[in-house]
Amino acid sequence: MQTSKRRRTRVATGALVALMLTATAACGGDDGDETSDGKIKLTVATFNEFGYEGLIEEYNSMQDKVVVEQKKAGQANEHQDNLYTKLAAGSGLSDIEAIEVDWLAALKQESDAFVDLTDPEVEGRWLDWKTEAATADDGKLIGYGTDVGPQALCYRADLFKKAGLPTDREQVAKLFTTWEDYFDVGSDFVKKVPGAAWYDSSGGTAQAMVNQTQYTFEDEDDNVIAADNPDVKRIFDTVTSYSEAGLSTRLPQWEEDWVSAFQKDAFATMACPGWMLGVIEGNSEGVQGWDVAGVFPGGPGVWGGSYLTVPVQGKHQEEAIALAKWLTAPEQQAKAYTAKATFPSQVAALEDPVVVDSEREFFNNAPVGQILVQQAKAIEFVPYKGPKFADINTAFQQAIQRVDEDQESPDEAWDSFLADVERLG
């Protein structure tokens, strides 16, 4: 989903998550109380920006017996900490809890902590892979999909012009059908535009490549394969070698220096899933030249996305399910997209003119709706994320960053990563 400044989440290890969730009990939460006038009070806990403020007002205006309140954490890690703590305590969760896609693997292992949201009424509402990701091994659907992050490529047309590159987004799209093309053009760019890197961060570029790999760190049986998977080594070698060649800013995403780089013409391109558009615009206030190309090197991929769950702790599960169903209906998701640019995962919403025909003035009036719909429909799979994915991915990102910060050579960082994998495995 879209964030204002940050999207980093702190991830508990699989063992810690399991330990916390084993304490989960199906007892009442603290939030399912009645108001002074006898209405049922439902709470919805979210993080960052879901675009729900106006929707909740609308829902409340339609209700005689229910009133909804939103609890919004500023960052995903704050929300995640609260979620795990109250799951462990067995009480205190909101009637609806938003979760991020990277948390699904751990939470699906404890599917008894959540209400099964399977319902013929919503069958076929979402893109198939969005629903499959939230379906536990026992067949329970633990989350209704909200947004999704199809990847496109954002670029600085003004810096492209300095390098003698095309600036028209359709011509730019033709340049980057493969990663090899992308890095070749970048290698030429950094020679022609001194002081500017080709992309915003090694870690972000690596993450975009991971998002195109179906089985990266674990196989479908949750066996850790990171050490022996040639795709993992290929991604590591690629980003570290091009970083050393000057294509990367060598800045870690989300840190203060990375945020500041948007104001300094420090780089020309970056992976931009739908939610990233708001991040770029916010960080680049006053900067002109950004545009969006309807392409992504190496093919489509998905980065991020969230869900609404109904914990079994809640006292008013029936009402919570009805609210979650309404909030994630295509009509409401189109409104949330208009409010906060959270790109919908609902099939019908991808046909809604509000979404399809949307443009972003900041990005040279780019037809972002058409671009992201095109990218979303082209996605054939989402990366498999087993229980240890998040921890291994964190170790992978840290290894890449150690190279960027000259703490270790690429060979040393790779060996350190393998040691981390062995420990986590």
Average pLDDT, the chain: 90
Share of the chain above pLDDT 90, in %: 75
Say if residue 142 is in the same domain as residue 154.
no
Is 80 exceeded by the pLDDT of residue 18? no
pLDDT attached to residue 353: 95
pLDDT attached to residue 23: 45
Say if residue 258 is in the same domain as residue 283.
yes
Q: Dihedral angle at the C-alpha atoms of 232, 295, 76, 342, nearest 10 degrees?
A: -160
Handedness of CA 209, 11, 343, 165 (dihedral sign): negative
Question: Of 293, 325, 342, which one is at a domain's C-terminal end?
Answer: 342
Compute CA 157 distance to the chain's CA centroid, rounded to the nearest angstrom: 26
Q: Rounded distance, CA 215 to CA 392, Å? A: 13
315-364 tens-digit pLDDT: 999 999 999 999 999 999 999 998 888 899 999 999 999 999 999 999 99
Say if 41 falls within a structural domain: yes
Burial of 358 (0-12, 13-18, 19+ CB in 10 A): buried
Query: Which whole number is the average pLDDT over 144-153?
Result: 94
Say if 364 falls within a structural domain: no
pTM of the model: 0.82
Say if residue 173 is in the same domain as residue 273.
yes
Say if residue 325 is in the same domain as residue 403.
no
Say if 367 falls within a structural domain: no
Say if 363 falls within a structural domain: no
38-64 tens-digit pLDDT: 889 999 999 988 999 999 999 999 999
Question: Of 289, 323, 342, which one is at a domain's C-terminal end?
Answer: 342
Question: Of 314, 342, 370, which one is at a domain's C-terminal end?
Answer: 342
Say if residue 281 is in the same domain as residue 319.
no
Phi-psi region of 406 (alpha: psi -120 to 50; beta: other; left: phi over 0): left
pLDDT attached to residue 415: 98
Say if residue 295 is in the same domain as residue 321.
no
101-132 tens-digit pLDDT: 888 988 998 899 999 999 999 999 998 889 99
Handedness of CA 31, 115, 222, 230 (dihedral sign): negative
CA angle 344, 350, 356 (to 5 degrees): 105
Say if 365 falls within a structural domain: no
Is 50 exceeded by the pLDDT of residue 16? no
Q: How many CB atoms lie within 10 A of CB 89?
A: 17
Q: Rounded distance, CA 321 to CA 120, Å? A: 13
Is 50 exceeded by the pLDDT of residue 6? no
CATH number at residue 128: 3.40.190.10
Structural domain boundaries enclosing 389? 150-302+383-424
Q: How many CB atoms lie within 10 A of CB 260?
A: 12
Say if residue 292 is in the same domain as residue 332.
no
Alpha-helix residue ranges (DSSP H) falling in 147-266: 157-162, 169-175, 179-192, 202-210, 230-244, 256-261
Domain count for the chain, please give it.
2
Q: Rounded distance, CA 226 to CA 217, Å? A: 4
Say if residue 268 is in the same domain as residue 310.
no
Cβ atoms of residues 114 and 86 within 8 Å: no
Higher pLDDT, residue 346 or 380: 346
Compute CA 325 distance to the chain's CA centroid, rounded to the nearest angstrom: 21
Say if residue 199 is in the same domain as residue 257.
yes
Q: Which contiguous run of DSSP H or E holds residue 358?
A: none
Handedness of CA 55, 61, 63, 65 (dihedral sign): positive
Q: Dihedral angle at the C-alpha atoms of 79, 210, 203, 232, nearest 10 degrees?
A: 120
Concatenated DSSP letters of 103-157: GHHHHHTTGGGB-----GGGTT-B-HHHHHHTB-TTS-B--EEEEEEEEEEEEEH
For residue 416, give every residue at least 6 positions away whose Cβ sits within 8 Å of its Cβ, in sequence order, or none: 399, 402, 408
Say if residue 292 is in the same domain as residue 254.
yes
Say if residue 86 is in the same domain as residue 166.
no
Q: Rounded distance, CA 362 to CA 336, Å? A: 19
Say if residue 37 is in the same domain as residue 110.
yes
Say if 376 falls within a structural domain: no
DSSP 8-state class, residue 50: -
Say if 119 falls within a structural domain: yes
Higher pLDDT, residue 27 or 133: 133
Handedness of CA 304, 268, 177, 230 (dihedral sign): negative
Say if 325 falls within a structural domain: yes
pLDDT attached to residue 36: 61
